[in-house]
Structures are given as C-alpha cells and as structure tokens.
Structure 1
Amino acid sequence: MTTQNQAEAASGHIQLIMVNNCAESVWPALLGTTGHVTPQSGGFHLGAGEELTFNVPLMWSGRVWPRRGCAFDAHGNSTNGSRCTTGDCGGVLRCAGNPGAAPATVIEMTLGTPSSPVHFYDVSLVDGFNAPVSMAPVGGGRGCGVAACGADLNVCCPSALEVRDREGRIAGCRSACGAMGGDRYCCTGDYGTPAACKPTMFAHLFKAICPRAYSYAFDDASSLNRCKASRYLITFCPPQPQY
C-alpha cells in the first residue's frame, strides 16, 4: 500500500472514484444497506467523460447502479412526470433510500466488517442489466480482482427480457425473475436454496458473456472479489478489454 493509501485508510474512509465512460449521461444511484449511510444523498448526474470522487466510511456496505434516460429539473425532480428509462428510484435525482427499479446492473460492496478488514465486491445481474460497469482497486493489490460486466448485454438480450425506451430502442435486459416471476426463476419458496434453484437458460447466457458477474441469486462464488485497498474505481461503460 502506498503512503497516500495508508494515509487515506488511517483517516477512516475509503475513496470511490466514479467515471462515466459512456457516450451519454448516466445518473449513478447509491443505497447503503440497513444501518449504513447513503452517500451523495443517493444519486447524482455524470455527463459523458465526467467523474466524481467521494469518500465512504470504512466498513461501508451498499450498492451502486447506473440510471439511464433520465430528465431532472433544477430541484432534482423528473420533468413532465417522466421517469428514468432504467434504474429509476421514484422519479427523483437523489434516491434517498429507494432501492431502484429493475432492470439495472448493480455493484454490491462491503468494505470490511468488525471481524474482518477484507473488502468484498461484485457486479450482479440478478436485477437485470442496463449498462456495462466495472469496479477495481486503484493501483491493484494482493488478491484483488476486477468485478465487471463490460459487454453490452442489450445487444443480445432475448426478446422476452427486453425493455425499450420511448423511441423503441432496447434500453435494458430484465432478469428471468423480473420478466417471468415465480419461485423457480426468483429462487424463492421451494426454490429458495442453492440445491433447488438452478441457473436458467437466460442466466447461462448472461454468465457466458459476463463470466465475472453474478447471473442469478445462487451463482458461484467466483464472481465475488476480495481485496483490501483504500481507493476503488467504478467505471460505467468500461473501456476495452472487456471483463
């Protein structure tokens, strides 16, 4: 760990750097898990090529996801009553505890616990897909990996899972649970265990294209990354090579 990273870790914070590498705006949304703060009031705007850096406390746990196709006024409210095409959280810029609407590509992280300093993070397609994303430690680190779905799943989304925007373009790809519901597809009820809930053909498709992302609720643990760093880079539409 560099001197700078040691100083940042000693301050009691982890730095998150969010970069929009997409050709259009995204509106990142954030939500702390129960008992954890929600940074940046839950959401903000990133224009194409823009980035934002902020701190979260050590041991922070929560999720981040991109919203696309949004329009907000100066007060952070949707204009003309419209909502983000994907990932919307109640028609407002600052999500304030709203978990967001599927489909959305979700980054999940737990940056240490009282019993362990290890950080865990992953990219999940359990709630579907709406944009390529990645998360990686800045400067690398021992045992650290890249969590990502760098491919655009919208290009190959099965018609049964498609979500289209106001112009009729494919804007997101729902999970099998989101599209069809039921215990079998949602890994609930009689299918609420790893032994009973198996990946569907759609989960197999997601996994084949994005092997470093969770494709369904009980996906294998190879998609979970373990690390200990003081800075992480989260990229929307990460550049090649895809992960």
Structure 2
Amino acid sequence: MSSFLSLLLVAAAASDGSSIQLILVNNCAESIWPGLLGSAGHPTPQSGGFHLGPGDESAFDVPVGWSGRVWPRRGCSFNNSSGHGSCATGDCGGVLHCGGRPGATPATAVEMTLGTTRSPLHFYDVSLVDGFNAPVSMSPVGGGAGCGVAGCHADLNVCCPSKLEVRDGDGKVSGCRSACRAMGGDRYCCTGDYASPERCRPTVFAHVFKAVCPKAYSYAYDDATSLNRCKASRYLITFCPPPTSRN
C-alpha cells in the first residue's frame, strides 16, 4: 500500500464531523516549506510552518469554520536548533514556524473559508494576487457533484514578464511579482478609487496570469472563474501538481 493511500485511510478514520482534514503533498523535485496562517480570530495550525521533502505528505485537522491560507516557501535554509534562517520566496520573518507572520510576496496562496455561521459551504481558491512562486492546487476528497479544483498547475516563472521577475542569488527566476507589488498605485492594486468590481479591471499582466492559469485568481475581483464551493471532510493541497490541459 502506498504511503499516500495509507494517509487517506487514516484521514478517513479520523474525521468525526467536528474537524476538516487538510492533506499537504509535495510533488516538487525539491523541498517545500509550507507556510500557514489563520485569518483573524482563527488559530494557525502546525505552528505556522514545517518542512516537506520531495514526495512527502502531511495531514492535520482544522476546525469546521476555519479560515486561513497556505503558501509554499522555496529555497529555504534553517538552523536545526534555533529554527532561524531564510527562504528565497514566501519567507515569514526568517523562521521555520511562521506563527502569525504572513509570508513575503511573491507567493502563490491557497485561501479557504471552511464554513461560516451563515453557510455550511466551504469556499476555497488559489490566488496569484500576491504573485507566484510555485504551482499549487487544492481539491476535495469526495464532496459530491459541483466541487471544483482550484489551482495553478503551470510554472509561471518560465513566462513571467521581465518587469515582474524576482531572481535568486544564482540569477534564476524564483518568483513572479504581482503588478501591484511591482508597480504599485490604485489601478494595479484595486485600492482607492479602484476598490470595487466596477472600477478594478484586469491589467495586461493579469491577463497573462489568467491565460496560463485560468482557475486561479489573477486580480482581486476575479471571482467568477476562480472561487470554488464544496462541503467535503478532507481537502488535498498539492505543491507542483501534475500539469493539466486546462491548468
């Protein structure tokens, strides 16, 4: 029996309706250090971060109604005893366990709200609003008809516009910034006079992101094709998921 199948069986046995299982899988050829952050009023699981080697998986529970985000950190190096260090992208203050620290941009973000007082539905998406640093997907394990897969399966770093590139110490493109982070201003950041769906329109850079990753948020109000709804007891978050014909 594969380790992944064993993990799913354990997750199924552990689910009691009061919690939701998140299963994180690293399908990349290199290590990933997932960062985690609970929204205001929600706990941050797993101390906010940990290490996943190539092919590794990790499963943990969050309470029903949990809201927060998960993002990949890449190119990290941490001191084994102190937990201090740094990451090329997605860094959260130079520590392994992010706690309540957000990740630095650019970083691909998996966002979710797993039920509210008004609705039992779970809402989730993969967002490029804060830029891109690794392909990521989120999919329900079960959940029934109508449950979608959120994700950006392609490597945007290979087609990142030069104005948005972030390069590591070796000169390799390690991330692709959002237009807001690269150029600023209300028009690119959907702030001020542009803080509404009517005024905030996708820029040429958002169109590039959307063409490559049509199921991910390319700008702040990209809800129609990017927000997923489901009600499952388990969700699979995959770093470097297999490419798909539609991404």
TM-score range (shorter-chain normalised) is: over 0.9
Alpha-carbon offset, residue 222 of structure 1: 1.9
Deviates more, 1:4-13 or 1:162-171: 4-13
Q: Name 2:91's counterpart in structure 1.
A: 88
Structure 1 residues 18-97: aligned runs within 5 Å: 18-79=24-85, 83-97=86-100
TM-score if structure 2 supplies the norm length?
0.92
SS in 1 for 2:182: helix
Q: Deviations over 1:43-79 (max 9, x none)?
A: 0000011010111111100000000011001135334
Structure 1 residues 63-212: aligned runs within 5 Å: 63-79=69-85, 83-139=86-142, 141-212=144-215
Q: How many residues align?
A: 238
**Contact 1:70-1:78 at 8 Å conserved across structures:** no
User: For residues 42 and 17 of structure 1, do their structure 2 counterparts lie closer, same or farther at Cα, with a shift above 3 Å needed?
Assistant: same
User: For residues 64 and 137 of structure 1, do their structure 2 counterparts lie closer, same or farther at Cα, with a shift above 3 Å needed?
Assistant: same
| Residue 227 of structure 2 corresponds to residue 221 of structure 1 | no
Q: Deviations over 1:216-242 (max 9, x none)?
A: 111132200000000110000001325
Deviates more, 1:106-115 or 1:67-76: 67-76
User: For residues 116 and 220 of structure 1, do their structure 2 counterparts lie closer, same or farther at Cα, with a shift above 3 Å needed?
Assistant: closer
Give me the whole-angstrom Cα distance separating, in 1, the residues matched to 2:235 and 2:150: 11
Give me the whole-angstrom Cα distance separating, in 2, the residues matched to 1:5 and 1:23: 25
TM-score if structure 1 supplies the norm length?
0.94
SS in 2 for 1:168: coil
Where structure 2 has 5 or more consecutive residues not aligned to the other structure, the ranges are 1-9
User: For residues 130 and 5 of structure 1, do their structure 2 counterparts lie closer, same or farther at Cα, with a shift above 3 Å needed?
Assistant: closer
Alpha-carbon offset, residue 29 of structure 1: 0.3
Alpha-carbon offset, residue 196 of structure 1: 1.1
Alpha-carbon offset, residue 142 of structure 1: 2.1
Q: Which amino acid aligns with 2:25?
A: V
Of all paired residues, the percent bearing the same amino acid is 72
SS in 2 for 1:86: coil
Alpha-carbon offset, residue 115 of structure 1: 1.9
Give me the whole-angstrom Cα distance separating, in 2, the residues matched to 1:229 and 1:90: 33
Alpha-carbon offset, residue 6 of structure 1: 8.4
Where structure 1 has 5 or more consecutive residues not aligned to the other structure, the ranges are none
